[in-house]
Amino acid sequence: MDLPAPRFTWALPTLCSVCRAWAAERVCDACHERFAAPHVRCVRCALPVPAGVMHCAGCLREPPSLDATIAAVDYRFPWDGVVAAFKFRAGLDLAGALASMVENAVLRASSPLPLPTLLLPVPLSRERLAERGYNQAAVLARHLARRLGITLEQRLLRRLVDTPHQADLPRERRLANLRGAFGVEPRRALHLRGRSVALVDDVMTTGTTLAEAARTLKAAGAAGVQAWVFARTPAPEDR
């Protein structure tokens, strides 16, 4: 009698992307505990705030177009190197570990908003996509959609203009560069109306790009827009 082939449920060990030790995942438990301990963040922009505080001074002074922002870690050592490998060196094997950390941040967030019904990756321009070969935000969003059971729409939000890097520009220039940078695909606009949306990206630096995308989506009928990012650049005084 032929016996059924054995089924193996264990995974091969891999190297932790942070400490390079053998681990079951691309980020080991020790590095999670050492470098990714959760802390209190502003509900609207995800900058660190003191315990018991929901909004930073900047968001109280000038509320952003994003209704909430959730970040897994600060964009500093060692996560800046992990993001660079994921984003620029085809480290697509990191996507699962990064998505798991974002998922954990979403599930423990203090935001009063419910989970969205649509996930949208922040799109790249055609030029940037051709240069890189893949959109790291879309890869991250696919993992999150599967994990959380949320509908993923990869073609609804479009990047119309290939804007320069924003981080080192003054605020007025950033806003001017991004004006009209995004658009909603007309044939898919009906999927957006009245829906709650989360924009997914790897890093939030100044927040200008995500804010412009949120304005575009709300103008097209989205009921609410959150941002889910792996890493959030700290305020200048915290770097």
**Arithmetic mean of pLDDT, 63-86:** 96
pLDDT at residue 207 is higher than 50: yes
pLDDT at 60: 96
pLDDT at residue 42 is higher than 80: yes
CB distance 41 to 111 below 8 Å: no
The pLDDT-based confidence of 169 (bands split at 50, 70, 90) is low
The mean pLDDT of the chain is: 88
The pLDDT-based confidence of 181 (bands split at 50, 70, 90) is confident
Pick the residue with more confidence: 150 or 175?
150
d(CA 174, CA 167): 8
One DSSP character per residue, the chain reads -PPPPP-------EE-TTT--EESSSS-HHHHHHH-----B-TTT--B--TT--S-HHHHHS--S-SEEEEEEESSTTHHHHHHHHHHS--GGGHHHHHHHHHHHHHH---SSPPPSEEEEPPPPHHHHHHHSS-HHHHHHHHHHHHHT-EE-SSSEEE-S-PPP-TTS-HHHHHHHHTT-EEE-GGGGGGTTT-EEEEEEEEESSSHHHHHHHHHHHHTT-SEEEEEEEEEPPPGGG-
| pLDDT tens, position by position, 98-126 | 999 999 999 998 666 789 999 999 999 88
pLDDT at 175: 56
**Arithmetic mean of pLDDT, 1-25:** 71
pLDDT at 41: 95
pLDDT at 162: 73
The pLDDT-based confidence of 191 (bands split at 50, 70, 90) is confident
pTM for the predicted model, two decimal places: 0.89
Most confident of 56-70, 99-113, 161-175: 56-70
Residue identified by tokens 């994003």 is: 66
